[in-house]
Amino acid sequence: MLTLFGNLDSGNVHKVQMVLRARAIPFRRVDVRQDRGEPRDARFLAVNPMGKVPAVLFDDGDMMSESGALLFHFAAGTSLWLHDTRRQAEVLRWMFFEQYSHEPALAVLRYLRRFAGDPVQHSARIAELEPKCRHVLGVMEQRLADNDWIAGEGPTIADLALYPYTRLGSEIGFAATDWPAIGQWLARMETLPRHLPVYQDAAVETLAFEDYFGAGRAAQ
Ligand SMILES: N[C@@H](CCC(=O)N[C@@H](CS)C(=O)NCC(=O)O)C(=O)O
């Protein structure tokens, strides 16, 4: 059974949980928490030298990280990844937008507001990120005003990539009520069969970091 490393607060990890659940692929999860510095722990770095979650370890020892790569890997051969090259490029276009513009605004602002200690310490960075959040949500709102799904006729991995941090935007003052087309898209996503709500765990088994890695040694 494959092992997913990551915690439930992470939208990047949630994307992978969503595709694994959509595909009914069983997995265990090892909790790796950013607020405890666990992604930079030498034992986790032995698994993923990039020091980031999500990461997936397959039974044969192969490791894969980066949420977009993992979405692609687990969606290949399904309708979540389209066949036509132009359509594929459209899916990638929105996934690159998510990684370069959307996640660096919404996920970072959420991190600073919710997890990084006193938000007053980060007020300059927060002030910089707020208009960026409004911009990326405006881009999505415009797209979704005329399209049910971000990149295709039906849901694709571009929708999965954009879902968690858009949904979690309500935690940092970007409620879907202010973005009606986004609100309808979120509702559409949430009625898909096998949809996984944010913060829910689809793993068949969850291990704490120390239970998996033990003290001072890299786990197998
Ligand atoms: N581009 C990566 C970003 C992953 C990422 O930034 N993960 C965060 C948690 S959401 C992390 O592991 N941060 C640990 C750190 O930077 O120390 C992806 O999409 O998977």
What is the 171 CA–ligand 1 centroid distance (Å)?
19
Dihedral (CA of 84, 135, 160, 111) sign? positive
Three-state DSSP at 54 gives: coil
pLDDT of residue 218: 47
Percent of the chain having pLDDT more than 90?
88
Q: Name which residue leads in pLDDT, 19 or 219.
A: 19
Q: Name which residue leads in pLDDT, 116 or 159.
A: 159
What is the 39 CA–ligand 1 centroid distance (Å)?
8
Please name every residue paired with 206 in a beta bridge, in sequence order, or none if there are none.
29
How would you classify the pairing of strands 2-5 and 55-57?
Answer: antiparallel
Dihedral (CA of 41, 120, 199, 182) sign? negative
Task: Tell the residue nearest (CA) to atom 14 of ligand 1.
Answer: 52
Rounded alpha-carbon distances, angstroms, from residue 24 to 60, 64, 82: 20, 19, 19
pTM attached to this predicted model: 0.95
Angle, helices 157-167/11-22, rounded to nearest 10 degrees? 140
Angle, helices 85-97/157-167, rounded to nearest 10 degrees? 20
Ligand 1 binding pocket (C-beta < 6 A) is 10, 12, 34, 39-40, 51-54, 66-68, 99
How far apart, in whole angstroms, are the C-alpha atoms of residue 48 and residue 36? 17
What mean pLDDT is predicted for residues 102-129? 91
Of 16, 52, 101, 103, the one to substitute when testing ligand 1's pocket (max ligand atoms within 8 A of C-beta) is: 52
What is the 121 CA–ligand 1 centroid distance (Å)?
22
Express each pLDDT in 145-193 by its tens digit: 999 999 989 999 999 999 999 999 999 999 878 899 999 999 999 999 9
What mean pLDDT is predicted for residues 96-105? 98
Alpha helices (H) in the chain, listed in sequence order: 11-22, 42-45, 67-75, 85-97, 103-114, 123-146, 157-167, 180-190, 209-213
Of 53, 106, 160, 162, the one to substitute when testing ligand 1's pocket (max ligand atoms within 8 A of C-beta) is: 53
**Measured in whole angstroms, how far is the alpha carbon of residue 26 from the centre of its chain?**
18
pLDDT of 70 above 90: yes
Express each pLDDT in 187-216 by its tens digit: 999 999 999 999 999 999 999 999 999 965
Could you tell me which of 86, 93, 63 has the C-alpha nearest to residue 161?
A: 93
pLDDT of residue 215: 64
Query: What is the average pLDDT value for the chain, to the nearest integer?
Result: 94
What is the 214 CA–ligand 1 centroid distance (Å)?
23
What is the 154 CA–ligand 1 centroid distance (Å)?
28
Express each pLDDT in 31-61 by its tens digit: 999 989 999 999 999 999 999 999 999 999 9
Task: Decide if 54 contacts 12 (C-beta within 8 A).
Answer: yes
What mean pLDDT is predicted for residues 86-112? 97
pLDDT of residue 152: 85
